[in-house]
Amino acid sequence: MQNDLLLKAARGEETERVPVWLMRQAGRILPGYRKVRASVKDFTELVKTPELACQVTLEPVHVLGVDAAIIFSDILVIPEAMGLPYQMLESKGPWFEKTIKTAKDIEALHIGNTEDWEYVVNALKLTRKELGDKLPLLGFAGSPWTIFAYMTEGSGSKTFSVAKKMIFSEPELAHSLLDKITTTTIRYLKDQVKAGADLVQIFDSWGGILGHDTYYEFSLKYIARIVDELSPLVPVTAFPKGAYFASEQLAKLNCRVIGLDWAINAADARKTFGNKTLQGNMDPCLLYANETSIRKATHNMIQSFGTRNYIANLGHGVYPDTPVDHVKCFVDAVKEYKAQ
Amino acid sequence: MQNDLLLKAARGEETERVPVWLMRQAGRILPGYRKVRASVKDFTELVKTPELACQVTLEPVHVLGVDAAIIFSDILVIPEAMGLPYQMLESKGPWFEKTIKTAKDIEALHIGNTEDWEYVVNALKLTRKELGDKLPLLGFAGSPWTIFAYMTEGSGSKTFSVAKKMIFSEPELAHSLLDKITTTTIRYLKDQVKAGADLVQIFDSWGGILGHDTYYEFSLKYIARIVDELSPLVPVTAFPKGAYFASEQLAKLNCRVIGLDWAINAADARKTFGNKTLQGNMDPCLLYANETSIRKATHNMIQSFGTRNYIANLGHGVYPDTPVDHVKCFVDAVKEYKAQ
């Protein structure tokens, strides 16, 4: 591979410089994406059309000069594969007409298979072909808890109290759903690797709304199962958004890379996560500042984490109204960093 | 005072049993509240009518048997006092027609005074009178950062990216607004104490969206100013929702009580916060479970925290759709707890 900085860093090898990419780099910040998005009926059509998904996946490689492409898709491919379709409502986020409430609902769910996510497989294959051996291609999935949260709640939520009601009042039912999601997700990520993903990231976007005990029981345990199945194939990144309270347990995960949000101090993270590779963690709102501030904050971040076992990124997806020049400034600031 | 369990616990004194109250105990969970709420034009009318505010403040004392009354009000009294009125939109939350964007907007804001929150003072006086010396009466305010977040964002938000944009791109402007809010809040809380509040709690509801550095600079520093001014008068509780990452710095606050959300493990909290009194921290979603589970979880919680220097509560406000019987079960479970 011509630029294998990110994979080397993920494996813990030395690199000439720190690799960089951004969560949600292929999205609304880019003009090409907005054009493609305007040309289709809805978000899911874009996700399900491999040529378009490939096109928007590659745009940040050209425009921003990042060190990896991440396949344009959505974590909600999994509920849909299991028989629970979603819509992406403009400025409202995901919405499910049906939600999971009973044992019968769970029984009716299908354990997904290749044919259920063939469009993702095809998008990955096409992107791999277009990308050649230029850069690594990243795959991803939501954590079982995060998928569970959407399948039971039916939409985003500040509290996810419907989802949490199930874990507290019917824990066995919750586990049976989490188990089914986990089995499906393992198949899905293995298919992504077969189709050309060089690394996979598990987004535990809603882990942070759980507590110290419930996180281990309802989220981490299932992430661990996925990590154990995927790690022999490719490096795996676990991104436990907002779950700082679970750091010690997260450190025991059998994955090479931990994604960090901006809550975490680099020195503390290094102490907790030992020789794992760390990815993150600038606050995406820092990209609203001027370029001098962005450059300074980026260099400070790298200095705090150190250049070894490190992948520069934000602590969350880039926000849609971020100026492209500012994003580019962040990427360039990583590339120009020289250790003092 | 007939029942001074909560104040004794707050001051670190021994108590016959663990005191208990719930954040949002005076609200939509109770039938009396819903009736009063239905009789007025909107939420702010209720907040601004001392007789009604007093009535809903006292309902949980009678119905639930809690060990303290907390004045029924809203943290957004402060923006309104400063010249930025809000509306509480049904099922959408707070909404501001004007928001703060520029230095001129900040200059135009008024540093609030007793006449701006006279209705809260009157509600407290009336409640104090009705309550007699039966129970402690709690006052409260939002943290300056939390109030800042609403004044700049104009509503609730998943990311508060508008608020955060200001701290990153115009930090001096942000500090000048935070300073003005802090000065106003200190006056406000001192007035609450004069009117009969026996303890005041500072709700840092949105501290958790800041990061390790920004939290200290834009939230904790201003909470510390309030705590330093109020602690000589009454015990002060700081409730830094979602700011687990800042625990070590929070431990240095000059307040007697720290409110904890459910992310935090009791043993870790005891280690970090030394001999401060801790308040919390059951997940409010646990109250959706059956009464056997609630009782067991409540007893486990008390056992983990220990009975000294402890005030039982939830880790967040009780959710509106929680059955009253379950809330009562939580309160009773605390009262019946016997150390093993």
| A188 neighbors A71 (Cβ within 8 angstroms) | no
Compute the average pLDDT of residues B180-194. Answer: 98
Side chain identity at B263, as an amino acid letter?
A
Residues above pLDDT 70, as percent of chain A: 100
Largest Cα–Cα separation, chain B: 61
| B196 neighbors B226 (Cβ within 8 angstroms) | no
Q: Is pLDDT at B259 greater than 80 in this prediction?
A: yes
Is B214 close to A283, i.e. CB distance below 8 A? yes
B97 touches A at CB < 8 Å:
no
Q: Is pLDDT at B340 greater than 70 in this prediction?
A: no
What is the complex's ipTM, to 2 decimals?
0.94
Query: Nearest CA of chain A to the CA of B338: how many Å?
Result: 23
Rg, C-alpha atoms of chain A: 19
Q: Distance between alpha carbon B215 and the CA centroid of its chain, in Å?
A: 18
pLDDT tens for B124-164 read 999 999 999 999 999 999 999 999 999 999 999 989 999 99
How wide is the angle at C-alpha B246 spanned by C-alphas A263 and B143, nearest 5°?
100
Which tokens sit at A19? Answer: 């690799």
Residues from chain B contacting residue A245 (CB–CB below 8 Å): 244, 263-265
B156 touches A at CB < 8 Å:
yes
Neighbours of B320 (CB within 10 A): 13
Side chain identity at A197, as an amino acid letter?
A
Q: SS3 for B238?
A: strand
A303 touches B at CB < 8 Å:
no
Q: Which residue of the set B11, B17, B37, B308 is catalytic?
A: B37
Rg, C-alpha atoms of chain B: 19
Scanning A229-248 for CB atoms below 8 A from B yields 242, 244-245
Cα–Cα distance for residue pair A240/A209, rounded to 1 Å: 11
Neighbours of B35 (CB within 10 A): 12
Number of domains present in the structure of chain A: 1
- Under DSSP, the state recorded for A155 is B
Residues above pLDDT 90, as percent of chain A: 97
Buried-state track B92-110, b at ≥16 Cβ within 10 A, e below 16: eebebeebbeeeebbeebe
B159 touches A at CB < 8 Å:
yes
Q: Is pLDDT at A100 greater than 90 in this prediction?
A: yes
pLDDT tens for A118-155 read 999 999 999 999 999 999 999 999 999 999 999 999 99
At A91 the pLDDT is 79
Domain span including residue B142: 5-336
Residues from chain A contacting residue B244 (CB–CB below 8 Å): 244-245, 263
The position carrying tokens 């402690």 is B136
| B284 neighbors B318 (Cβ within 8 angstroms) | yes
CA distances in angstroms from B207 to B66, B159, B230, listed in the order given: 28, 12, 20
φ and ψ at residue B178, rounded to 5 degrees? -60, -40
A295 classed as catalytic: no
pLDDT tens for A182-199 read 999 999 999 999 999 999
Cα–Cα distance for residue pair A74/B325, rounded to 1 Å: 41
| Bridge partner list, A155 | A95
A128 classed as catalytic: no
Q: Is pLDDT at B24 greater than 90 in this prediction?
A: yes
Is B158 close to A158, i.e. CB distance below 8 A? yes
Which tokens sit at A24? Answer: 């949600």
Residue A132: how many CA atoms within 13 Å on its side-chain side? 3
Residues from chain A contacting residue B208 (CB–CB below 8 Å): 242, 263
At B146 the pLDDT is 98
pLDDT tens for A235-281 read 999 999 999 999 999 999 999 999 999 999 999 999 999 999 999 99
Global pTM?
0.96
Cα–Cα distance for residue pair A58/A129, rounded to 1 Å: 11
Residue B37 belongs to domain with CATH number: 3.20.20.210
Comparing C-alpha atoms, which of A247, A245, A236, A297 is closest to residue A269?
A247
| Bridge partner list, B312 | B20, B280
Q: Is pLDDT at A340 greater than 70 in this prediction?
A: no
Q: Is pLDDT at A44 greater than 90 in this prediction?
A: yes
Residue of chain B nearest A163, judged by CA positions: B285
Comparing C-alpha atoms, which of B240, B171, B164 is closest to residue B202?
B240
pLDDT tens for B57-94 read 999 999 999 999 999 999 999 999 999 999 999 878 99
Q: Which helix (H) or strand (E) is A52 found in, with range?
A: helix A50-64
- Side by side, the strands of the sheet bearing B69-70 are B69-70, B137-142, B199-203, B236-239, B257-259, B277-282, B310-314
| Bridge partner list, A325 | none
Side chain identity at B191, as an amino acid letter?
D
pLDDT tens for A300-333 read 999 999 999 999 999 999 999 999 999 999 999 9
Average pLDDT, chain A: 97
A87 pLDDT band, cuts 50/70/90, is very high
Query: Nearest CA of chain B to the CA of A143: how many Å?
Result: 19
Scanning A169-208 for CB atoms below 8 A from B yields 169, 208
Q: Count A/B contacts: CB-CB distance under 8 Å.
A: 91
Average pLDDT, chain B: 97
